[in-house]
Amino acid sequence: MAATAGNRCFALSYDPKVRQFMVDHHCPGWDLDQFPDDPRVIRG
């Protein structure tokens, strides 16, 4: 809902539907199997 209202979003994809949402709404994020272990990477 936040993305459709124009708010910034970040996704953690755990499901193909979430991945499709990320693509459709140009939402940055990670797939859970690619989630980094290093918190410095997460902070950006």
User: What pLDDT does residue 17 have?
Assistant: 93
User: What pLDDT does residue 2 have?
Assistant: 78
Tokens of 3: 């993305």
Q: What are phi and psi of 10, to 5 degrees?
A: -140, 130
User: What pLDDT does residue 34 have?
Assistant: 87
Q: What is the pLDDT of residues 6-26, one digit of tens each?
A: 888 888 999 999 999 899 988
**Looking at the whole model, is its pTM more than 0.75?**
no
Residue 44 has pLDDT above 80, yes or no: no
